[in-house]
Amino acid sequence: MLKKMRKGGKCCGSDTDPLELHGLKKIVLVGNPNVGKSVLFNRLTGAYVTVSNYPGTTVEVSRGKGKIGDKYFEVVDTPGMYSLLPITEEEAVSRRLLLNEHPEAVVHVVDAKNLPRMLPLTLQLIEAGLPVVLVLNMMDEAKKLGLDVNVSSLQKRLGVPVVSAVFIKGEGVEQLKRVIKENGKLVS
Ligand SMILES: Nc1nc2c(ncn2[C@@H]2O[C@H](COP(=O)(O)OP(=O)(O)OP(=O)(O)O)[C@@H](O)[C@H]2O)c(=O)[nH]1
Ligand SMILES: [Mg+2]
């Protein structure tokens, strides 16, 4: 089932299709549950999004259209996942999305307060050859706890771009867009 929604819940019912996603390159947002993926999705996409069941499943996936520079992208908000080796139906859907939809960028959103728990998935994504950008979200809370994350050292050690963010305040969104634009397809 496909629902085209105007953000805020009302169905758009429009003749022209502001959500033409066909042929656009994809940016896929992944990460553990509750790390801020959907907050980022809302900041990257315009007024219209589609929410549909992933084929053959009851898992809902949101898709919207975002713009970086003068280029439009399809942005995909995936269900929370802990590992690329799926246990839940949600994780299986996220894995299939990542491996089958050939994203231009895979934005791994993590909670900066819990890096040791979050980074194993980053490594799995990198090992799978995906074009990963790591986003350390919730830096506001990490700072309150006195945690100091060395972004450039992490970036060097992982070999992928790392961006710090506070998405509820919009911080980090422009830098993330810049990184995606500059890196093009992020795989070598
Ligand atoms: N303090 C703080 N809270 C944030 C930040 N980003 C998101 N949140 C909050 O974290 C909660 C989870 O955000 P979501 O965007 O729903 O998380 P999600 O990753 O989409 O979660 P799932 O859909 O369950 O996988 C919400 O209450 C947000 O308001 C941030 O940078 N700082
Ligand atoms: Mg979400």
> What are the pLDDT digits (tens) for 150-182?
999 999 999 999 999 999 999 999 999 999 998
| Low-confidence residues of the chain: pLDDT under 50 | 12-15, 186-188
Task: Give the Cα separation of 132 and 40 in Å (integer).
Answer: 16
119-134: pLDDT as tens digits: 999 999 999 999 999 9
Which of 92, 156, 174 has its CA nearest to residue 164?
Answer: 174
Domain map of the chain by residue range?
2-11+19-183
Which of 16, 58, 36 has its CA nearest to residue 176?
Answer: 36
Region class of 119: left (phi > 0), else alpha (psi between -120 and 50), else beta: alpha
User: Is the CB of residue 172 below 6 angstroms from any atom belonging to ligand 1?
Assistant: no
Nearest-CA residue for ligand 1 atom 28 is 36
In sequence order, what are the beta bridge partners of 136? 110, 164
User: Is the CB of residue 167 below 6 angstroms from any atom belonging to ligand 1?
Assistant: yes
In sequence order, what are the beta bridge partners of 61? 52
For ligand 1, what atom is nearest to the CA of residue 138?
A: 31
Residue among 35, 42, 109, 136 whose CB has most ligand 1 atoms within 8 A, to mutate: 35
Distance 67 CA to ligand 2 centre (A): 20
Q: For 155, which DSSP code?
A: H
Cβ contact 75:112 at 8 Å: no
CATH code for residues 2-11+19-183: 3.40.50.300
Q: Which two tokens stand for residue 39?
A: 């907050």
